[in-house]
Structure 1
Amino acid sequence: MKFAKQYLESIDGVEIYPIITLLIFFSFFVVLFWWVFTTSKQQSKAMSEMPLETNPKDNNQ
């Protein structure tokens, strides 16, 4: 850990990296939260049934 700390201290402006990382992380979940609550019930139901749907054209049995 001492090596990493010494290495990071030699980089100019390294103190901004954790702030940028936190903003990206937080922004991702805010956008995901917004998308979940603005998606229509119909679209949500269609997406939840996608893996269960069978297409008769592709079913060779």
Structure 2
Amino acid sequence: MLKFIKGNLESIDGVQVYPIISLLIFFIFFVLLFWWVLTARKTYINEVSNLPLDANQNEE
């Protein structure tokens, strides 16, 4: 199966740049997510973490 995909991809000019771009997008996304988690305000995190509990209390 892989030989069919590899054969088709080898015929495309500049195809080697796509894995690099996808790796950069993946890495940048998780770096930004990590930065957001570290810089998030504790009050916001506590408020959001209590949302499911607040919804259950409002139904009763």
Alpha-carbon distance in 2 for matches of 1:7, 1:47: 48
Greater percentage in helix: 2
Residues 40-60 of structure 1: CA distance to partner in whole angstroms, max 9, x if unpaired?
00000011111111374xx3x
- TM score, norm. by length of structure 1: 0.86
RMSD: 1.3
- TM score, norm. by length of structure 2: 0.87
- Equivalenced residue count is 58
Alpha-carbon distance in 2 for matches of 1:49, 1:7: 51
Residues 8-43 of structure 1: CA distance to partner in whole angstroms, max 9, x if unpaired?
001111000110010000001000001001100000
Letter in structure 2 aligned against 1:16? V
Alpha-carbon distance in 2 for matches of 1:31, 1:46: 22
Stretches of structure 2 lacking an aligned partner (at least 5 in a row): none
Return structure 1 stretches of 4+ with deviation > 4 angstroms: none
After superposing the two structures, state which structure 1 stretch, 47-56 or 12-21, moved more. 47-56
Stretches of structure 1 lacking an aligned partner (at least 5 in a row): none
